[in-house]
Structure 1
Amino acid sequence: MHNLIQSYIGTKFAFPWWKLMFDLALSAVRTAVRDQRGRKEVNIKNHTRVKKIFGGEIEDSRVLDGIMLNKDITHLTMRRRIENLRIILLDCGLEGKTGCGYVAILVFKPDLVNTEKGVSDLAHHYLLKGNVTALRHARKTNNNRVTRAVGATFVSRVDDINESDVSTKCGLCEIEKITDALRYFSFKTKCEDPKACTILRRSPSKDILNEIERNIQVAIEIERKVFFPPPVSY
């Protein structure tokens, strides 16, 4: 496999970093594997995401054992670093005018609530009382990757939350600012047996970022077809 990847990247710009490209592609393929009716499938498009961040060195690129999103906390006093956290994923908003639903969330003692909709001021009041961090307005596709990474279940109504819907497989959540990008990002890493991942790529030039992205994508396809060849019909 090393010789196969090296022979392809040998004529490309990323040849000096071919070993790094090999490790990134291999980690992404192994993470995205799932059993489908007795055979293994790799859905690179839906279960892996390449995140390009301008700045830094090419050697800073890595595959996260979890998911990275371009999201910041909704209130300045919320925690930015949480270890061994409990996560609740919602595809509904926290915008009700009564506090009954918010109290129902606090019963399960979550550390992080991730919702696709908005979070009202009243919801912030109850979440801050329970020392809960909230992330809002997340895309559906990104939340699907979060679900596979942390093992949580989407809940459509706050009243329908069960203990089985709460994820405890995420070891660390950090919301930090990357200086080169001038934006805040949330990192959900150290996940237990993640089935989705983020490939974080760094480079001092945007042109180099785009070129390396093409090389990584082809390396991923090569390794996917070698390790998990498609079925052959006779």
Structure 2
Amino acid sequence: MAQYSGQGQPILVLPEGTNRFIGRDAQRMNILAGKVLAETVRTTLGPKGMDKMLVDSLGDIVVTNDGVTILKEMDIEHPAAKMLVEVAKTQEDEVGDGTTTAVIIAGELLKKAENLLDMDIHPTIVAMGYRQAAEKAQEILNVISIDADDRDTLVKVAMTAMTGKGTEKAREPLAKLVVDAVKQVEEDGEVEIDHIKIEKKDGAIVDESTLVQGVIIDKERVHPGMPKKVEDAKIALLNCAIEVKETEVDAEIRITDPAQMQAFIDQEEQMIRDMVYSIVDTGAKVVFSQKGIDDLAQHYLAKAGILAVRRVKKSDMEKLSKATAANVVTNIEDLSETDLGLAGLVSEKRISGEEMIFVEDCKEAKAVTLLVRGSTDHVVSEIERALDDAIGVVAATVEDGKVVAGGGAPEIELAKRLKDYADAISGREQLAVAAFAEALEVVPKTLAENAGLDSIDSLVDLRAAHETSPYMGLDVFEGEVTDMYKAGVIEPHRVKKQAIQSAAEAAEMILRIDDVIASSGSGAPDMEGMEGMGGMPGGMPPMM
């Protein structure tokens, strides 16, 4: 990129081929990218949202209506669009649900901001107004939320999160499994959701999904001579190999006599035998090793009646430790009876044609496993994503103890109160706060559209209903406005709080950009031709 001096000589500031968009062009392009991304996931929102089929370069298929999964699987290049993908990822990490909501609110905030920019309102004023509105929205959310974390509420929260995500037939039993799992791993009012393992297997109906008070390991016994079932099992967890160690440096052993050779082999055998006997002496009946187990060690373990599993993942070892109260030992010589864990039953079972090790009936297990079943691999994968969302929302409700109504009720109430708040503000920020309020109405509007209802009529009815109660939302199955608490459509306070906060901050950041400089060699997209269709609706350059 060159600037011309007074003598007509070009002065190179940026390398050739660099794309640069300044001022209004940069803002228009970034806003367009955000709007297109929001439109892409918009149809998936709500109980009657549609699914997307995503096919990667290898031909692998993902069928889902989970917002963050769609955005992760799409090959997105546009820098502003990538910023909105980060919003979805943050929402997923913090709460586990509400990813689509966060993205469509961000897209709508950008759309409303474009109208304000066209009125010659400075982007900084818009960003400041949005920040004020977001802070006020959090205050209002605190007022309209209700304290509740009883079991019945938690089940309703889980069912709301799973509605419309391929789990319709079995969402109530699945919701109860999720609540049981979260309650089991809760410690001092906090939930470590990593301690809830989801193991998925196709070849059965969803109703056959179960919760195991312990851990399921997708492995099999290392030796067929080992017992298939061990009751009242004492369990040893080893982070070391049961085999003779290789020397650290290259070593050469010179043998001049056949008897020496035999003595060398006998010595190796004796070392392995000693390792196995040191395990047997502790009273262990089950061994899980993170590393390998020598063939000879397998033989001796089988003779001792010990069930052994090798090459167990580190994450599974941690869950086993939490479930059985066993210590992970890094040296067999240090293994003692106090390091062993307990489980009522350890058994090898055949599930969907594959052997799996079940560590069950653990007393006060602080790690549990949800065995998810489904008819096909794609079905069970979507159920797993729905359960992930449900676990996240139930955990958030247990930790915060606060819930809000669903069905677009909080967004309508926020919009109503933010409009009143806007009237009390002087200056141009008033317009930005009012725009923020209108943008929030995109959630109930989209719910209505996806359910095949008239979005204008639904919005009018909702606004009228909110004159009497802040909990009135849209029942998309009946097509009527109803009290969402009574209908059992409940969401965690944290879902709405995070979605509005992250959407507002992403919109602010994008609005404050007035210069986009894309290096030609950085792998950045060609941002020329924004007016053309470019492979996506709205004239955006190809994102996929």
- Give the structure-1-normalised TM-score: 0.89
Deviation per residue, 1:57-95 (Å, 9 max, x gap): 110001111100111111111100111011111000000
Correspondence 1:1-234 to 2 at 5 A: 1=153, 2-35=155-188, 40-44=189-193, 46-96=194-244, 97=268, 98=271, 99-168=273-342, 170-178=343-351, 180=352, 182-229=353-400
- State the AA in 2 paired with 1:41: E
- State the AA in 2 paired with 1:183: E
Counterpart CA distance in 2 for 1:154 and 1:116 is 9
Deviation at 1:8, TM superposition (A): 4.2
Q: For the Cα contact (< 8 Å) 2:214–2:362, is it kept in 1? A: yes
Cα 1:109–1:19 change in 2 (3 A) is same
Q: For the Cα contact (< 8 Å) 2:347–2:357, is it kept in 1? A: yes
Which shifted more, 156-165 or 116-125? 116-125
Deviation per residue, 1:115-147 (Å, 9 max, x gap): 111111331233133211111011111111111
Deviation per residue, 1:3-29 (Å, 9 max, x gap): 444444444432332211211210121
Q: For the Cα contact (< 8 Å) 1:6–1:15, is it kept in 2? A: no
Please identify the structure whose Cα radius of gyration is greater. 2
Q: SS where residue 19 of structure 1 aligns?
A: helix
Q: SS where residue 227 of structure 2 aligns?
A: coil
- State the AA in 2 paired with 1:148: K
Gaps of 5+ in 1: none
Cα 1:115–1:11 change in 2 (3 A) is closer
- State the AA in 2 paired with 1:89: L
Q: SS where residue 373 of structure 2 aligns?
A: strand
The structure carrying a bigger strand percent of its residues is: 1
Q: For the Cα contact (< 8 Å) 1:109–1:130, is it kept in 2? A: no
Q: For the Cα contact (< 8 Å) 2:165–2:383, is it kept in 1? A: no
Deviation per residue, 1:213-234 (Å, 9 max, x gap): 222222222211212118x9xx
**Aligned-residue identity in percent:** 26
CA RMSD of aligned residues (A): 2.0
Deviation at 1:188, TM superposition (A): 0.4
- State the AA in 2 paired with 1:30: K
Counterpart CA distance in 2 for 1:163 and 1:7 is 46
Which fold has the larger relative contact order, with Cα–Cα distance below 8 Å and residues 6 or more apart in sequence?
1
Counterpart CA distance in 1 for 2:215 and 2:349 is 14
- State the AA in 2 paired with 1:131: G
Q: SS where residue 84 of structure 1 aligns?
A: strand
Q: For the Cα contact (< 8 Å) 2:211–2:370, is it kept in 1? A: yes
Deviation per residue, 1:178-224 (Å, 9 max, x gap): 2x2x2110000011110011111111122321222222222222211
Cα 1:160–1:226 change in 2 (3 A) is same
Q: SS where residue 86 of structure 1 aligns?
A: strand
Counterpart CA distance in 2 for 1:76 and 1:4 is 45
Counterpart CA distance in 2 for 1:114 and 1:156 is 12
- State the AA in 2 paired with 1:203: G
Cα 1:161–1:17 change in 2 (3 A) is same
Counterpart CA distance in 2 for 1:212 and 1:202 is 8
- Give the structure-2-normalised TM-score: 0.39
Deviation at 1:30, TM superposition (A): 1.1
The structure carrying a bigger helix percent of its residues is: 2
Aligned length: 224
Gaps of 5+ in 2: 1-152, 245-267, 402-493, 495-544
- State the AA in 2 paired with 1:27: D
Q: SS where residue 105 of structure 1 aligns?
A: helix
- State the AA in 1 paired with 2:392: E
- State the AA in 1 paired with 2:192: N
- State the AA in 2 paired with 1:160: D
- State the AA in 2 paired with 1:120: D
